[in-house]
Structure 1
């Protein structure tokens, strides 16, 4: 063996993982490293949290037409569908405006606070929506419910961090399944429990709370479930690292980058996300399917 072949770089790149004692993300990594078998507990946690936030999305659609009719804001019966569309779209409009913001908050302050806050928002504003007495109260409560509950992005990041690599796809599919089940159970609750004084006069009188607010019962049931989820979220582990990164790997990469440049002043420009075609194509396809899903959901109940 020649001397050239025996030469090794001064700093060898190591794959050794460095853990920080007081870092919640490192504690989660240690937990994952010692985890054996299918993570049933983590899967159930993700499933329940997503279900609690998915239920109110479409629970209003079975009774939305009648709710807007009772507001007496539409001058003609043909206009009820337009006003119902405003109420139905307020949730997603608020979510569109704030989703990126909640992603930044989750990256800076942690996934757990966003999860707790998001599920608590469901409790408050979904309840207020059920107590709406006019059109604008319904629009505002739905808008705030969507805008302040930016849970979908952070919960996906949480699922990627709480599972080992071989189970991350299972975690993502758990989010999708809980989301789909929520979009099924939500309208079922709205259809069965709305206007209980008319459907179940033996149980609810017209002078009772549910008689005066005929669309409050389905919202209350969902809010109670969300309250249980919000309280339980206090015991879920945090996954965000509270340190910059692994220091030795940073030092190695910095030295390696400096040795590859002539004067050490060159820097690699950041890639423009809008020019990342694989990323943008996945976002566009997601938007197309989401548009089809929500448009069908809103038009079907009016028809």
Structure 2
């Protein structure tokens, strides 16, 4: 009798020519952990994330070799726009790639994104002038529409019991790619045709894939308690929008820090920098990545259960302020003491930044976050160049002003995590 009831349901639910029904049917027949699918997602996400921040180790010297900056102090200004061009491209196309993925499927978008990353990242490395670098990074960002579709793909191809594992694979691969990318850029920079010192960056673009949400077909409930499938209702959902705005503020801070740290570490000591080489900072970044990975796998789950994500973000923001304040004074150190304290500061800052990003909303936040991350490098580079021209100012001279402004943004982000702004 049970078999007679099941057969009509199977015939009614699964349609022969429907790709979605084929996937659902395959999930019904699947047993055990889908290792093959997890590995394929891991590889795609890792390869996509690697180029995003790999430029920062050598960007300072790349701009210098283009001879577009009139003085050393102007290098940060021009470098900021190269760093911002990727995020501008992604902000302009994120929604479009999502629509394409919904209309034509996830795999075409993933395949196109993977191939274009290879093409435009290679062309960026072969740039012969400043505008070629800007254009290729912009195109790289424009065609890098993988994150949203691949998170949706991870939700859809796994059974419910393995969806969390699939999303965790996306998040971990993305985070590791953002760690390894700058490290590779720092260690391999000397293998290019230019024989210059190149420096690496503590660039951890927060774990953007930290949260995926459920299947897009499910209904959402807004703050008034009414259910709606309308996309416009998302903008009336203040708990959602407030979390996106807070996320964007922290994203602006972290991308500005990413740009500034690179420029600061690579600048000569006479300008208030560290005069670091690519190998020096490559080691710092490798140690930072390892420390961050250990923290994520060991301490973070415990701390998240104790404090919760919002309180943890507040603690991280408050602790970031005195940490960033100490950065300009590291230039007074040399040798082992400098290396030790810089490694410790770098690990601490990236751990704290990671906590600020973990409550990210999905969907709309991708476009908004990309816009803010586009502003971050451009504004950071401009502020850095301006600060280096005021090294003898009476109030917050030189790089002290840069890190002070970073702290201002961090404090604003922390204050926005409280009521009435952030609705929980």
Q: With structure 1 as the length reference, what TM-score do the two structures score?
A: 0.70
Q: Is the 8 A contact 2:42 2:173 kept in 1?
A: yes
Q: Decide whether aligned partners of structure 1 residues 272 and 36 sit closer, same or farther in structure 2, where only a CA change above 3 A counts.
A: same
Change (3 A) 1:214 1:151: farther
> What do residues 193-222 of structure 1 show as CA deviations (whole Å, max 9, x unaligned)?
1132xxxxxxxxxxxxx426989xxxxxxx
Unmatched segments (≥5 aa) in structure 1: 1-13, 197-209, 216-244, 246-267
Tell me if structure 1 keeps the 8 A contact 2:89–2:142.
Answer: yes
Contact 1:130 1:213 survives alignment (8 Å): no
Q: What do residues 215-238 of structure 1 show as CA deviations (whole Å, max 9, x unaligned)? A: 9xxxxxxxxxxxxxxxxxxxxxxx
- 1:118 pairs with one of 113, 117, 121: 113
Residue aligned with 1:103, SS: helix
Within the candidate set 91, 94, 99, 1:99 is matched to 94
Q: Contact between 1:131 and 1:213, CA under 8 Å: does it hold in 2?
A: no
Q: Out of 160, 166, 169, which is 1:165 matched to?
A: 160
Aligned residues: 227
- In 1, Cα distance between the equivalents of 2:246 and 2:32? 34
Kindly provide the CA deviation profile for residues 117-160 of structure 1, in whole angstroms up to 9, marking residues without a partner as x.
00111111101000101111000000000012211111111111
Residue 184 of structure 1 is matched in structure 2 by 179
- Output the aligned Cα RMSD: 2.5
- The gaps in structure 2 that reach 5 residues or longer are 1-7, 198-216, 218-227, 265-424
Structure 1 match to 2:13: 18
Is residue 45–residue 170 contact of structure 2 (8 Å, CA) maintained in 1? yes
CA distance in 2, matches of 1:55, 1:269: 35
Contact 2:61 2:196 in 1 (8 A): no
The separation in 1 between residues aligned to 2:140 and 2:196, in whole angstroms, is 20
Partner of 2:22, secondary structure, is helix
Partner of 1:288: 249
Moved more, 276-285 or 158-167: 276-285
Match of 2:34 in 1: 39
In the alignment, what sits opposite 1:211? 193
* SS state at 1:41 partner: helix
TM-score normalized by the length of structure 2: 0.50
CA deviations 1:27-85 (Å, max 9, x no partner) are 11111112222222111111111111100000000000000000000011101001111
Partner of 1:154: 149
Q: 1:168 to 1:278 in 2, by over 3 A?
A: farther
Which secondary structure does the structure 1 equivalent of 2:127 belong to? coil
SS in 2 for 1:20: coil
Give the conservation status (yes or no) of the 8 Å contact 1:98–1:147.
yes
- Aligned-partner Cα distance in 1 for 2:59–2:83: 8
Structure 2 Cα separation of the partners of residues 165 and 301 of structure 1: 42
Give 1:287 deviation, angstroms: 2.2
Max Rg structure: 1
> Quick one: distance in 1 between partners of 2:21 and 2:195?
49
Alignment of 1:255-294 (within 5 A): 270=230, 272-294=233-255
Q: Which residue of the partner structure matches residue 5 of structure 1?
A: none
